[in-house]
């Protein structure tokens, strides 16, 4: 079955080679790579004649040599005309003794290396849910692989160059036990799902984070990547895990909690957990995950599910801990965050002594290429900080910043890069003193 899906990509892998078409930079533009470690170069950085040749003769996603204006080679990259850029994947050292042989195996070796590093570290904490490849930082621009278990993965290729590697990457994971893979790529679309193996002895379709089991996507479901809230967001792992300690013997409120990720940590130690979810499908999915881990008895004694938008949710109770996760449509922009925080304070759902954990991303799944152009410009870290201060001022409350989380080890960044996904933790203190 998966061969039929992959046939749409054609026989388009990278044949082993050391020399490639050349693109020459304008004078001084090479500093963007050599000094600032830029992962991509816009077409404006190249000489027009050099670029004109490449546009006519180089296949989309093909490999090109990036050369300085004095013709010295400085990098190799994918030629991506649909984004008007070149994605750099290999920097040439000052003393060139030999050029790398670029092929599918060249990139698979990088993927194997990044997976091995994460696996050694993260599985020690009983965790098999993490990002295996995070694009350019792991040496394969525009390729993102989320590992939910040895059986279940999600592969996102946002460019033509990364998409050409898909057959080899899928075969790599098939040989290591993968059974089902979600795929998002320009040719295959954003809701493709392929089944590699149908086991003769059916096993539980689950994956694990921090020792807690989560159910894998239902068989019948096909949903676009940016709308898929059935699965955990690995980037928020550290913020979720805080709830096991912060929520001990306390009342916890979880809002937009994907796959009950935060609620499951909280239920294990908290006095009471309330989960608020607007969508009926995901409300039921959250309930199923909670019951699958803690049984109906514990669920009824310690937890409740409320299907409601947060702006319509009220209760005569002040929570000790509030966990809020962004939503691509209803909780994304600065305005939406400000309204939500003011609603919590005005209805005394959050009051003096409440700890608020806010998880946000400025692009879906922390992938810049998937950022959509719409009226809801995602709030930045500074925006979120300003929103909670403004909400506190409106109700004469002080808020104190406790700490911030960027994603953990499996979401590496360049030294100058700013995290696309983050979590902020604040404490609401007593009335502000004039």
Looking at the structure, do residues 172 and 268 belong to the same domain, yes or no? no
Residue 250 and residue 259: Cα distance in Å, rounded? 21
Q: Are residues 212 and 285 in the same domain?
A: no
State if pTM tops 0.85.
Answer: yes
CA distance 373 to 142: 19
Alpha-carbon torsion 299, 301, 306, 312, what sign? negative
pLDDT of residue 433: 59
Query: What's the whole-number mean pLDDT along residues 175-202?
Result: 88
Same domain, 75 and 123: no
DSSP of 130-156, one letter per residue?
EEEEEGGGGTSTTEEEEESSSSEEEEE
Q: What is the mean pLDDT of the chain?
A: 89
210 and 264 in a single domain? The answer is no
Question: Considering only CA atoms, which of 430, 429, 425 is closest in space to residue 247?
Answer: 425
CB atoms closer than 10 angstroms to residue 378 = 21
Confidence of residue 430 (pLDDT cuts 50, 70, 90): confident
- Tell me, yes or no, whether 295 lies in a domain: yes
Q: Quick one: tokens of 155?
A: 């592969």
* Residues 286, 258: Cα–Cα separation, whole Å: 7
Tokens of 249: 């013997």
- Quote the domain boundaries for residue 291: 234-429
Task: Tell whether 8 is covered by a domain.
Answer: no
In tens, the pLDDT along 29-61 reads 777 776 666 788 899 989 998 898 888 889 999
In a domain, 203, yes or no: yes
How far apart (Å, rounded) are the C-alpha atoms in residues 120 and 295?
32
Locate 268 and state its tokens: 């294990």
Do 133 and 247 lie in a common domain? no
* Counts for the chain of helices (H) and strands (E), in that order: 11, 19
Q: Supply the CATH number for residue 154's domain.
A: 3.30.750.80
């Amino acid at each position: 079955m998966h061969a039929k899906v992959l046939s749409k990509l054609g026989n388009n892998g990278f044949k082993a080679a050391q020399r490639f078409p050349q693109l020459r930079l304008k004078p001084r533009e090479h500093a963007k790579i050599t000094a600032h470690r830029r992962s991509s170069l816009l077409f404006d950085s190249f000489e027009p004649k050099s670029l004109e040749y490449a546009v006519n003769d180089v296949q989309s996603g093909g490999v090109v040599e990036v050369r300085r204006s004095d013709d010295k080679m400085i990098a190799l990259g994918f030629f991506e005309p649909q984004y008007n850029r070149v994605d750099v994947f290999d920097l040439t050292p000052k003393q060139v003794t030999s050029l790398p042989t670029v092929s599918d195996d060249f990139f698979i070796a990088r993927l194997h290396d990044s997976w091995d590093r994460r696996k050694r570290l993260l599985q020690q904490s009983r965790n098999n849910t993490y990002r295996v490849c995070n694009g350019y930082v792991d040496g394969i621009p525009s390729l993102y692989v989320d590992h939910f278990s040895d059986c279940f993965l999600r592969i996102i290729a946002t460019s033509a160059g990364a998409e050409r590697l898909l057959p080899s990457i899928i075969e790599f994971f098939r040989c290591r036990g993968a059974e089902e893979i979600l795929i998002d790529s320009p040719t295959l679309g954003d809701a493709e799902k392929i089944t590699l193996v149908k086991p003769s002895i059916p096993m539980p379709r689950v994956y694990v984070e921090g020792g807690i089991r989560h159910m894998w996507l239902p068989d019948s479901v096909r949903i676009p990547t940016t709308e898929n809230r059935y699965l955990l967001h690995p980037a928020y792992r550290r913020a979720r895990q805080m709830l096991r300690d912060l929520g001990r013997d306390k009342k916890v409120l979880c809002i937009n909690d994907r796959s009950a990720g935060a609620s499951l940590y909280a239920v294990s130690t908290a006095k009471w957990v309330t989960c608020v979810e607007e969508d009926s499908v995901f409300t039921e999915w959250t309930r199923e995950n909670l019951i699958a881990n803690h049984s109906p008895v514990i669920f009824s004694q310690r937890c409740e599910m409320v299907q409601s938008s947060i702006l319509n949710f009220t209760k005569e109770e002040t929570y000790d801990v509030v966990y809020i996760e962004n939503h691509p449509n209803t909780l994304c922009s600065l305005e939406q965050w400000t309204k939500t925080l003011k609603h919590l304070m005005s209805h005394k759902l959050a009051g003096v002594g409440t700890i608020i954990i806010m998880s946000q991303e400025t692009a879906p799944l922390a992938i810049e290429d998937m950022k959509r152009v719409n009226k809801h410009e995602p709030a930045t870290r500074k925006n979120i900080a300003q929103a909670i201060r403004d909400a506190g001022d409106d109700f004469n409350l002080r808020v104190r910043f406790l700490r911030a989380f960027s994603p953990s080890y499996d979401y590496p960044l360049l030294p100058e890069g700013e995290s696309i996904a983050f979590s902020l933790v604040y404490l609401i203190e007593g009335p502000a003193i004039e």
